Each structure stands twice: as structure tokens, then as C-alpha cells.
Chains A and B, each alone.
Chain A
Amino acid sequence: MHMADALVSPVVGGAMWAASAGLASYAAKQVQKNLDESKVPLMGVLGAFVFAAQMINFTIPGTGSSGHLGGGLLLAALLGPHAAFLTVVSILAVQALFFADGGLLALGCNIINMGLFPCYVAYPLLYAPLAGKQPSKARIFIAALTAAVAGLQLGAFGVVLQTVSSGVTSLPFSTFALLMQPIHLAIGLVEGLITATALAFIRREAPSLLRHQTGASRTVLLTMLVLALATGGLLSWTASTNPDGLEWSIAAASGEEELTAEGPVHTFFAELQEKLSFLPDYNFKPDPEQAQLTEAKPTAWPAVAPGTSVAGITGALITLLLAFGAGKALQHAAKH
């Protein structure tokens, strides 16, 4: 899921750098203030552990394929969100420098996608409340699976947003999102399963290593999450069926809804694109009969569309994250 320098525009890369630098300095402050000095080498060695463990192939039962450990959630469960975030940052920096995974300009994007979401969203909002103070094996599994899937979905959506807003590739937002999200659903499940089995082992053999969870506000958080998901999922169905701003402006400027190019090469690619695009105009490709029906009638409103709902749910999660971030920042400002 690493973003590469070649896919990022300087504006997007710079903005993500600024955001991740701010977060890293906040995390570093928290770590310096709260972390016991004996944990300093633990963070370093656990970072190396995750780095090395990412290279083990885990065979997925019932399939021929294999998965890998991401590690952000496992680190958060062992070290807490702040120390885990710093550890992920250091892992990504070493990957960018030594293994050319990602790149220096895209490092900020990767920190947001693979550090912020698992450590500051999935862990405190999902893993910690679901696992509870004295987690049973079943609760560890449920919490790790849910948190890993949510973290990966947000991360993948981050990749889509950053790539599309950079404008280097021609992949439309909806096509790219519908390629990325389902793949990362599977990856998230595997990641959650690996994390859960490791944590269940630790719970049995060395329970003192598991971080003591504080689950005071879990009801509030869960209610908020369910509400946000419901709002995103349901309300996006009622989104306007009118063309978007760009289509509208092209239509206004040229008198045509879409600009077209002539010539045999273009006709060939136009046909190819028509075949490839399973999501023309932000929705699943309709079957021909249904398409005729839709053309005959004015578009129904609200249009129930699963494609839009995916974007809606993910958008809701992002908003929740922003709200959470703003709350934390205000809390921090109030203390000082």
C-alpha cells in the first residue's frame, strides 16, 4: 500500500508531510512525557520485529495465497498509540531510504495511511473499546479483525484520495476506489487474523505485555461510529443526481457534456474503456436492459447506489477522524 514519489504531486506530498510532521511531534511529546525509560529500547526492537515479521508469508487457510503482517495495530496494542505511531514512522522511513519502498516525498502520505489510521483511529476507537480491560480470546479476535479492516479501509481510501488529487494517473476516483477498497478488505481480514493470533498467544503466555486498556468512553465512541456509518451509508443515497461541477462546466464551456477525440486510435481506446469501466459515472455498470429503462425515465431520486455508499461510509469515517483530531488538539491546547 506504499504510495510512491512518482504518483504524488508536490502539493499533496507537502501537505501530507506537514500533517505527519505535526502528528509526529505530538506523538513524540506524549512519548517523552509518559513513556517509562525502560520502554525506549523496546520501541526500537519492536520496530525491527515488525519490519522483519512483515517478510514472513502467512498461508491463508482454504486458499492458495498468502498474506503479510502490517504491524501498526499490533504495535498499538503493545505500546499504546503514541509510541506505536513513532515506531511506524521509523519503519516507513527506513523502508523509504533503504528499500526504496515509497519515497521521501511520499513518506508523509505513507505515514498518514499506515500510521495515523491504525494507531490513532482503529486502535483507540475500535480495538481498545472492543477488547476491553480484560480481553478474552474471542474479544481479541473480534477487536483485532474489526480494527484491522477499518484501518486498512481508511488507509486504502487515503491512497485513492492522494493519488487522484495528485492527478498523475488518469484513473477516475470511483474506479480506483472500487479497485482498492475490496482488495484491502481481504488484506485487512488477513492482517486482523495475524494480529489476533499473535495477541492471543501473548495473552496466554505473557499477559503482562498487553497494554492495559482504558475503556471509559467506549459506549459514546461506538454510538458515534454507528451513527456516522449509518449517516454516511444512508444519506449518500440521497446525494444529488445532477452532474458534478466539472461536467457542468465542460458542458457550459463547450456545449457538450463530455469532450471527445476523433480518430481510429481513439475509437479503439474508447471501446476498450467502455469495456473496462465497470463504474461509468460513479456507479456500478448497469445491464443494458436496465440502462434503457433508466434512459427512458427521469432519474429516480434518491438513487440507491452501493458504489456511492462505499464512498459515503469511508467519508464518514474520515470526518469522524477529523472530529476526533480536532477534539484531541483542543484538549491539548486546553492543558497548556
Chain B
Amino acid sequence: MRNIVTAWLDLHYLDDLARQASFFHRLHPAGKLVITLAFAVTAASFDKYEIAGLLPLFFYPLAVMALGRLPSSRLLQRLLLVSPVVLLVGLFNPLLDRTPHDVAGLFTIAGGWLSFLSLTLKLTLTTTAALLLIATTKLPAIGAALRQLGLPRALVVQLLLLHRYLFVLLEEVGRIAQACELRSAPGKGLPYGAWGSLLGQLLLRTVSRAERIYQAMRCRGFDGEIRLLMLRPMQARDYWHLLAWCGFFLLCRFVNLPHAFGHFLLEVL
């Protein structure tokens, strides 16, 4: 039950964030989508023991949060909710990987701890990047961008319809779950006797809702073809933005910036 309410609130919250009109919000959705993917690929492509090299990548989420006027606390909260499962898998690394690694010439540590830390950094980076995309771009715009990038129409229409009715269905399921919770012993889930009827009733309601939606679409001239939002073409600033970020990701990937800075400072001093 609490899950459903949280999910509903999260959806509304991210939707509200995406409605802002900052510099980053106004950029072309296709560009932002490609940047997010390039970021995820860059972060994932680092060696399993890499730590220092990953750090400059944090510049991207921090810059987007600043440019897009996004609150970091709520995004970090979401990050904490998804991390346990992945970290659980990663926790085996310190136990199984005993390769000795030299840390900055100061001490030796088992490789597993390094790879676990690296995994945590990658998780933080990639999760935040996906949330930042949706917090700065409305889903219909992402749908239009996906269509521009060549995704099949049926899939894009399905994604947009799902998003639209998610708000309604989550509310409905939340009400049903609350009614059920109020009538049963505290702390228990749905008893077996009610599995079929609850899910089945909900399914029947869902189907009749879909029929009503179809009728409403027909009344408004639906001819089997769903018209999607048309996006403006990519402009010079969108291309510059895309190039700049991809260039930065490549730089981070191929030049170990923290090491380079360290060497430079030591030489100067």
C-alpha cells in the first residue's frame, strides 16, 4: 500500500519537475536522450577497479541539477531505495576477489573492496542520470524523440498510453488496497482467498475503462491512427550541447583527470 502511494507521489513529483522551463528543460529531448545513454555507457565502460577516473563524471549530474533547478535531496532518496539489491550482489566482491591492489602507494587492499566501491559509484551515476532525464523532459516529448530516433510507432503509443493511465490506475489500486488493508489484520498482505477476486475485479474494471476510453476516442474522430506530438528540429544549441557533453564523457573516459590534475599540481608546487 505504502508502495503505491509512494509511486503515485513520485510520478506526480517528477512530472511537475519536468514542467519547469529552465535552460536544460528547453533543450531538444532527442539530444538529452542520447546524452543520457552516452553517459550510462561511459560510466559502465570503466574498469571494475576504477575509482578516481569515475569521479569527474559526477560533474554531469551536478551540472544538470544546477541548470535544471532540481532538488538533489528527493533524487538521492530514490537512489537509496533502489541501491540495496545491486549492492547486495556487489557485496560478494570483497569476499571473493582477493587480488591485492596498491592504493596510491600507501597501502594494499583486496581488489574486491575497490570493485565494490567502483560499483557503488557507477550505480549512483547511472541511476541519477536516468532520473535527471525524466525530471527535465516530459514523457510525451521523450516519446516523440524516440519516434524521431526510429522506434516503432506501436511501441511509442503504448508507452504514452501506459504513462497516461498509470496515474489513474495507481489511484484506483491504492484505494482498493487501502480498503482491503482496513478490513484485515495489520501488517498482513492480501489473503489467498481474495487473490483471484481482487485482481480479477480490478482487471474487469480496467477493461471496461479501456472500452470507455476507446468510445471517447471514437467520438473525437479516432481513425486507428494516433497522432504524436511533433518536435521542433534540433537547433545549433542542441548540437553544441550534445557535442560538448559527449566530448566531456570521452575526455573523462580516456584521460584520468584526477591523476592529471594531481601531477600538474605537484609539478607546479
Tell me the A residues contacting B by CB distance below 8 Å.
2, 4-10, 13-14, 24-25, 27-29, 31-32, 37-38, 40-49, 51-53, 55-61, 66, 69, 78, 86-87, 89-91, 93-94, 96-101, 103-105, 163, 167-172, 193-194, 197-198, 200-202, 205-206, 209, 261, 263, 265-266, 269-270, 272-273, 276
Of B89, B119, B129, most buried by chain A (CB within 10 Å of CB) is B89
Q: Is the CB of B162 within 8 A of A94?
A: yes
Q: Is the CB of B86 within 8 A of A49?
A: no
Tell me the B residues contacting A by CB distance below 8 Å.
3-4, 7, 10-11, 14, 36-37, 40-41, 43-45, 48, 78-79, 81-82, 85-86, 89-90, 92-100, 108, 110, 112, 115, 119-120, 122-123, 126-127, 129-131, 133-134, 139, 142, 151-155, 157-166, 168-170, 172-174, 177, 188-192, 195-204, 206-207, 209-211, 213-214, 217, 222, 224, 226
CA distance A276 to B98 in the complex (A): 14
Q: Is the CB of A198 within 8 A of B196?
A: yes
CA distance A273 to B112 in the complex (A): 12
Q: B200 to chain A: which residues have CB within 8 Å?
A: 197-198, 201-202, 205
**Smallest beta-carbon distance B132→chain A, Å:** 10
Q: Is the CB of A13 within 8 A of B41?
A: yes
**Smallest beta-carbon distance B194→chain A, Å:** 9
* Count of A-B contacts judged by CB separation below 8 Å: 279
CA distance A24 to B153 in the complex (A): 11
CA distance A4 to B40 in the complex (A): 11
**Smallest beta-carbon distance A329→chain B, Å:** 17
**Smallest beta-carbon distance B36→chain A, Å:** 6
**Which of B129, B159, B170 contacts A90 (CB under 8 A)?**
B159
Q: Is the CB of B191 within 8 A of A59?
A: yes
Q: Is the CB of A5 within 8 A of B43?
A: yes
Given the known interface contacts A5-B126, A163-B89, A202-B203, the answer about A44 and B226 at a Cβ–Cβ threshold of 8 Å is: no
Q: Is the CB of B96 within 8 A of A59?
A: no
Q: Is the CB of A40 within 8 A of B161?
A: yes
**Which of B99, B130, B169, B197 contacts A261 (CB under 8 A)?**
B99
**Smallest beta-carbon distance A42→chain B, Å:** 4
Q: B168 to chain A: which residues have CB within 8 Å?
A: 48
**Which of B127, B134, B177, B224 contacts A5 (CB under 8 A)?**
B127
Give 10 A-B pairs besides A53-B199, A169-B93, A172-B96 with Cβ atoms closer than 8 angstroms.
A5-B123, A6-B90, A25-B152, A42-B207, A48-B162, A48-B165, A105-B44, A194-B195, A198-B195, A202-B200
